A = this chain, B = another copy of it.
Amino acid sequence: MSDVKDNEIQKLSQDEMKKILKDTRQKLAQQQQLIKEKKLPVIVLVEGWGASGKGTLISYLIRDLDPRFFQVVPMKMPTKEERRKPFLCRHMEHIPESGKFVFMDSGWMEETVFDVVDGKCTKKELKQRLSDINVFERQLVDNGYLVLKIFVDVSKEAQNVRLQNLLEHKDTSWRVCKRDLDQQEHRSKYEKAFGTFIKATNSEKAPWHVIDSSEKALVELQVCHLLVDGIEDAIKRNEIPVEIPENPFPLVQMPKLADVPLDKSLTRAEYEQQLKAAQKKLKKLHNRIYKEGIPVVIAYEGWDAAGKGGNIKRLTSALDARGFVVNPIASPDVHEKNRHFLWRFWTKLPKTGHVAIFDRTWYGRVMVERLEGFCSDNDWQRAYNEINEFEKNLTDWGAVVVKFWIHIDKDTQLERFNEREATPEKRWKITDEDWRNREKWDQYEVAVDEMIAKTSTQTAPWHIIQSKDKMYARVQALNVVIDAIEAKMKDCNY
């Protein structure tokens, strides 16, 4: 965790230090242009003891930076509402766009350590969080982020002196909070919790840098140095494709699309009767998941004109309007494209007890983005695992995750396209892009087969829904959702 360079720095004379500091600061200022050019997003996470000088350190680091290219995010403990989302949600929300810095004044470490100390996080939950954090940080790095993690250390005695100094003046006394005093009183508890956290999350791609804060100038020099080196390394690293791990998730065996029959159908009478029954059931379940605080994520993918819209509608009409949201996913906006590809989905996750439906999803990465070349080969090849990890995070959190591929054949699509063009009030549904995509049907089929094969995890398998008969598809999708929620209820003994 400590660098050889740091040891070298400590041996320097005052004058030598001043010179190095000046050079390093100048280099950092110059690097701004570089990170802009190379589209490098930089996260500097500053964690540490109360009154250890985290704020001062950040102020120091940003002094020569153009304020348009960085943001400082001071994180407090999560509110009750924030605790209704996955732990990492609110941290993910603040990651920078490419070419920009975010300095986080504490983050996922402080939240976890304080929760542990406060008895708000069981051992099992801690284990889960640590594992989630490692995945989160590794994904950021793999997606081109520099994640620089600093822990500002201070001895119990030194912290005490600092707190007393702050308390003595009315201009600064309000800066001392209960937590700081608690750290004095229960030092060893915090030490242990910080230590466990650092050990468990000290990864190769995002290592911890523990900095002793006793000499301010030294802290500044060390961190400035780390940042400058980190940026250089990250830019070099980003030129090399990321190694893709073997899939570690147990998978469900799935058929190829070509082998999926499309013969199922319902009569209008069967449809009406079965739809009504399923909707009634789902309505009741929606009440129950709300009461039990179970989040539900439903992902819709499928061929154009397969009937996703109508299918979703039959689902939502069974739900209380206040308890669900449908997220239509188009191509990403600029601020979305400039972040981790899952960012825009992380920020649309439901609260506990709520349902989020995605009309097109994060699987765009391995379909349209792959086929249109909107991302690199390494990006989409890596995405299967990243997506599996994302969904694992959701199911571990307690969410029901249901994924639909709404399926039709090529002839059915043509029929529906033609019908749409012939019907004035449906014409808006069909665009030139749909026709262009249709031309690539075979390429898409290869991509979809690979996607379904590689991301049908046991906890979040794909459901291929035959939709040549839309009525059958609607009832079928409803029943899959019902089964998934009921299985969850049973699992949790609700």
Which A residues lie at the B interface, using CB under 8 A? 30, 33, 36-37, 55, 58-59, 62-63, 66-69, 71-72, 74, 79, 81, 103, 105, 171, 174, 284, 287, 291, 309, 312-313, 316-317, 320-322, 324-326, 328, 333-335, 357, 359, 425, 428
Question: When A and B form their complex, which 10 residue pairs have the shortest distance between CB atoms, in order from nearest?
Answer: A67-B326, A74-B322, A68-B328, A72-B321, A58-B321, A59-B321, A333-B333, A67-B316, A67-B312, A333-B334
Copies of this subunit? 2
Q: A36–B428 Cα gap in the complex (Å)?
A: 9
Contact present for A55 and B322 (CB under 8 Å): yes
Contact present for A67 and B321 (CB under 8 Å): no
Contact present for B66 and A33 (CB under 8 Å): no
* A313 partner, pick from B67, B105, B328, B359, beta carbons under 8 A: B67
Q: Which residue of B lies closest to A75 (CB)?
A: B322
Contact present for B359 and A68 (CB under 8 Å): yes
Contact present for B58 and A359 (CB under 8 Å): no
Contact present for A321 and B103 (CB under 8 Å): yes
Beyond A68-B309, A68-B328, A71-B326, 14 additional contacts (C-beta under 8 Å) are A36-B428, A55-B320, A58-B321, A58-B322, A62-B316, A62-B321, A66-B309, A67-B312, A67-B316, A72-B322, A72-B324, A72-B325, A105-B321, A333-B335
Question: Residues of B contacting A359 with CB < 8 Å?
Answer: 67-68
**12 CB < 8 A contacts A-B:** A33-B425, A33-B428, A36-B428, A66-B309, A72-B322, A72-B324, A74-B322, A105-B322, A171-B287, A174-B291, A333-B334, A333-B335
Looking at the assembled complex, report how far the CB atom of A451 sits from the nearest CB atom of chain B, in whole angstroms: 22
Q: Which residue of B lies closest to A30 (CB)?
A: B425
Q: Among the interface residues A59, A312, A321, A328, which one has the most CB atoms of the partner chain B within 10 A?
A: A321
